[in-house]
Amino acid sequence: MINEKALRLCHALPDLHLPGGGLMDDTADAFIETFTLPGAADGPLGGLTLAVKDLYDVAGHVTGFGSPDWAAQHPVPEVHAAVVDRFLAAGATVLGKTHTDELAYSLLGVNAHYGTPKNSADPRRVPGGSSSGSVAAVAAGLVDIGLGSDTGGSVRAPASFCGVWGLRTTHGLLPLTGARPLAPSFDTCGWFARDGAVMARVAEAMGLPAAEAPTQLLLPVDLWAQADAETVAALAPALADLEARMGPACPVVLAPDGIDRWCETFRITQAAEIWQTHGDWVQAAKPEFGPGVAERFAMAAALTEGQIADARAHRLEIRQRLAAVMTAETVLVLPTCPSPAPLCNMDAAALDAFRSRALRSLCPAGLGGLPQLSVPAGVVDGGPVGLSLIGAAGQDRALIALAAAT
C-alpha cells in the first residue's frame, strides 16, 4: 500500500494501462507508478511487457529509490537509464515503475513508507527485495519481465521466494548509467521471468555474450549446510536431474576459511561503499528510514578505516579463491536461500536475522562479481525455494541454457 506522501510524490495510479488500451488491476501492489512506454516495433522482445524497478531512470518520471525523501529532493530525469533504453530498443513495452526497498539497502521487500508487495506464490510471505515490486509483478502475471538490480541478492532472493526465474548478471557486463548506485563494485543489473525461454530471449537481446556450456557440477558443501533440511530435501529432485545429465556433482568447500568470515567481509565492504556513495546525502537530508535500514546505515557510518582495509584485503583473497574454483567448465549448484521467504507477520528483529542468514548463501557471487541464476525448484510449507547456478564471469547465457534444458 502507498501512503499519502508517496502518492503526492509519485502520482501512483490504481490500474495498469495495457498497450491495447485495456486495464488490469495491480493485484500485487507491485507498482509505484504506471504508464505505457511502447518499445520498438520490430525488436526481438516485441510483444513482451516490462516493469522497471524504481532505481532506474525513466525520462519524465520520478526516480524515488524507495524513499519519499529521496524522491522529493532529486530532479525528474530527462533521459532513460541505459538498460531501459536497451529494453525499449529491443521491443519491450514498459508498463510502469515498481517498488523497491529504501535505497535498495534490504533483502526482504518490506518498505516502511510504501508497504509490501504481494508474494503471489504464498501471500503469507514477503516477496523479497530490494527488487520487490518487479518480482511481484512477474509472479502475479502482470508483466513478462521484471527489471531489477542485485547488489547482495536483490534479484536472486526474490526469485527464490516468489517461484520465478531470476538472473544476477556478471558485474560490469551491462551498463548501470542512469541507475541509482548502492555499492558500485557489487551492483549489477538483473531481471525476472516466469520461464527459461523468456530469460534466454532477454539475455540475447541485452547483448550478453554467448558461452560454452559448463561440463562439471560443483557442490559447495559449506553452502548446502546453510540450508534447512526441508529445503535440501525439496531441492534434491532438481539436483538429481542436473546430475543425470552432467554426471555426479563434485563436492567442494568453497570457503576454506569459513563462510561466516566471507559474509562478514561482504557486510563490511558493501557497507563501506554504501556510506561512501550516500553518506553525505544521509547526513544532510536526515531521511526517515524504516526499521533495519536505519540501523544498517548507522553501522556503515561507524566502520573504521582498519575494518574496511582488512575486509578489502580479504575480498581480494576471496576473489582469488573463486577464480581458482570457477572456470568456463565448472558451475556451482546450491540453494539460493536457506529456506522459503519469511512470513509477513515476523517482527523487524526476526526479519533482519533472516536477512543476515540468507547473506551467507548469497555473498559469494557478489564478492566475486559472478553471474548467478535462481530457478524455481521446490516448495517448503507452501513457500517456493530456488536452486541456483553460479558460473564464471561471462557465463550468464550458459547458465540459462543449462537450467532451461533440465
Which of 106, 120, 154, 374 is an active site residue?
A: 154
* Cβ neighbours, 10 Å, residue 269: 25
User: Coil, helix or strand for 385?
Assistant: strand
What is the DSSP code (8-state) at residue 351?
Answer: H
Bridge partners, residue 190, by sequence: 148, 168
* Separation of CA 349 from chain center: 22
How much is the CA Rg of the chain, to the nearest whole Å? 20
HSE-up of 297 (CA within 13 Å, CB side)? 20
DSSP characters over 283-317: HHH-----TTHHHHHHHHHH--HHHHHHHHHHHHH
Four-point Cα dihedral 307, 309, 312, 313, nearest 10:
-110
Can you tell me the distance from the alpha carbon of 331 to that of 328, in angstroms, rounded to the nearest whole number?
A: 8
What type of residue is 7? L
Instruction: Look up 53 and say whether it is catalytic.
Output: yes
Is 361 assigned a catalytic role? no
Place of cell 540468507: 358
Residue from 53, 160, 339, 374 carrying the catalytic annotation: 53
Cα–Cα distance for residue pair 323/68, rounded to 1 Å: 41
Catalytic one of 67, 106, 120, 130? 130
Whether 374 is catalytic:
no
- Please say whether the beta carbons of 261 and 318 come within 8 A: no
What is the distance between the alpha carbons of residues 287 and 70, in angstroms, rounded to a whole number? Answer: 8
Within a 10 A sphere around the Cβ of 77, how many other Cβ atoms?
Answer: 16
Catalytic amino acids?
A: 53, 130, 154
